[in-house]
Amino acid sequence: MYLILLIPIVGPLWTLIECGFIDGTQGHNGYGPSPKGIGGGGEDQADVFA
């Protein structure tokens, strides 16, 4: 019974971790290179934001 009360706490916490702290697809993907400059793309930061 008490475990069901944790759902409103665990759900937003899980979403925050997934969307805010975990890196996405490494390298090139459907949205272009990583803006962080990681993932083996080798892009210069000026190229990423140009």
Q: What is the pLDDT along the chain (50 residues), one digit of tens a residue?
A: 788 898 899 999 999 999 888 887 777 778 777 777 666 555 555 665 65
pLDDT at 9: 92
pLDDT at 17: 92
pLDDT at 44: 59
pLDDT at 28: 72
Q: Following DSSP, what letter does each residue of 1-50 receive, concatenated?
A: --GGGGHHHHHHHHHHHHHHTS----S-BTTBS-TT--SS----HHHH--
pLDDT at 37: 67
- pTM for the structure as a whole: 0.51
